[in-house]
Amino acid sequence: MTFRQSLDQIAPGVAEATELERERQESTLGMIASENHVSQAVLESQGSVLTNKYAEGYPGSRYYGGCQHVDTVEQLTIDYAKELFGADHVNVQPHSGTQANMAVYFAALEPGDKILSLSLSHGGHLSHGHSVNFSGQLYNVRQYEVDPETGYIDYDDLAAMANEFDPDMVVSGSSAYPREFDYARIGEVADKNDADHLADIAHVTGLIAAGVHSSPVEYANFVTGSTHKTIRAGRGGIIMCDEEHADEIDSAVFPGAQGGPLMHNIAGKAAGFSEALTDGFQVHAEQVVANAKTLADVFQRQGLSLVSGGTDKHLLLVDLRESHPDLTGKEAEELLSDVGIIVNKNTVPGETRSPMVTSGIRVGTPALTTRGFEADEMKTVGQLIVEVLDNPESDIVRDRVSTTVDELCEEFPIYE
């Protein structure tokens, strides 16, 4: 009888890889801006019997029997989210941030309608209308960019583009733009053009929940987010809107874009949201931003160039072209990975290399802050990164940095 066997008995290769992944997370410095470490409570929720339950529909109105307890779970999740974000209506069922965006497009647009969004190479996201994504295939997309001089979004240009393009939806939000969006301004542009404003807060869900980043809730018709980046609620998505759009959004998620909700993930969201309602989470979120600013400071003192000259949030975008013209983003990612510092290569505004090579790296502070890193540790990490980039050929530097990374990881364990 296999039913009661453990994972290492049933699929030993998977159990082993999972254990190795746990060790990898403990023994490296995770600086991918979209990643984080969730709590025991979130892990517990996601590994629970809730995964067994079908619950198509919404609390109190399901297509299956036996939903009384998952109704409680989903309603509590919604209540926590409403309290966190001050939204009128919340849907916690999207399987991911992309699914959340899909549901908003399905609710608000017809195929062929026009979307104005930030270009991927200037910090946007695939699901904002890129040609390899359904959003670029179903809709007519025009994209705004950042000012090549300042690295900030040029809102006058955006407004002029909107006047000319006459979009049905204007999207704010990004994956690699280090500055806050002016949600009020984008809301105005959308209003003026009779368009909806979708604010995609995927990266900053936690910062907004904690009140350390401005909230688009009052300036956008729809707000979508992911639940696994700066908020530590496990992998998934969320949609917020006003009462007026509630039914459209709910039917666009189910049955429009998805089948049964992942109740175990919804429970994870509840756990993460409940944690985010504590004062401790606000202190954490402030530290996330403070750590990013400390890192920006170290980088700039050491001659690295940052897109927009710094950051307002949890991530930095390093443009290597001036300081390290011969080093690509891909090489920088590999060099850092070799010493246990995990970042991702990233295109920069005005990119001349391919997206698989790039001229930049994106560096984030959420996961390190979760481990307990503060200013002193961030200064050390910043120095280590600069040393590696400055000495790509040196085994001595590589060994020395690796040793310091090991020491930091041991001093700041995640789960042990």
**Residue numbering of the annotated binding site for (6S)-5,6,7,8-tetrahydrofolate:** 120, 124-126, 243
* Pick 237 or 272: Cβ nearer ligand PLP: 237
To ligand PLP, the closest distance from the beta carbon of 202 in angstroms equals: 3
Look at residues 248, 257, 211 and name the one whose alpha carbon lies nearest to residue 231.
211
CA gap 371, 404 in Å, rounded: 16
- Residue ranges in 47-133 assigned as alpha helix (H): 68-85, 97-108
CA gap 237, 251 in Å, rounded: 16
* Pick 223 or 389: Cβ nearer ligand PLP: 223
Measured from each CB, the residue nearest to ligand PLP is 97
Strands (E), 123-252: 140-144, 169-172, 196-200, 222-226, 237-241
* Pick 226 or 308: Cβ nearer ligand PLP: 226
* Pick 145 or 200: Cβ nearer ligand PLP: 200
Query: Which residue positions form the known binding site?
Result: 120, 124-126, 243
To ligand PLP, the closest distance from the beta carbon of 16 in angstroms equals: 26
Instruction: Give the footprint of ligand PLP on this chain (CB under 6 A).
Output: 34, 96-98, 125, 127, 173-175, 200, 202-203, 226, 237
To ligand PLP, the closest distance from the beta carbon of 37 in angstroms equals: 17
What letter does residue 352 receive in the DSSP assignment?
A: -
CB 241 within 8 A of CB 87: yes
Strands 315-319 and 305-306: what pairing?
A: antiparallel
Look at residues 237, 231, 201 and name the one whose alpha carbon lies nearest to residue 216.
201
Contacts of 334 (CB under 8 A, 6+ apart): none
* Pick 62 or 203: Cβ nearer ligand PLP: 203
To ligand PLP, the closest distance from the beta carbon of 118 in angstroms equals: 9
To ligand PLP, the closest distance from the beta carbon of 60 in angstroms equals: 27
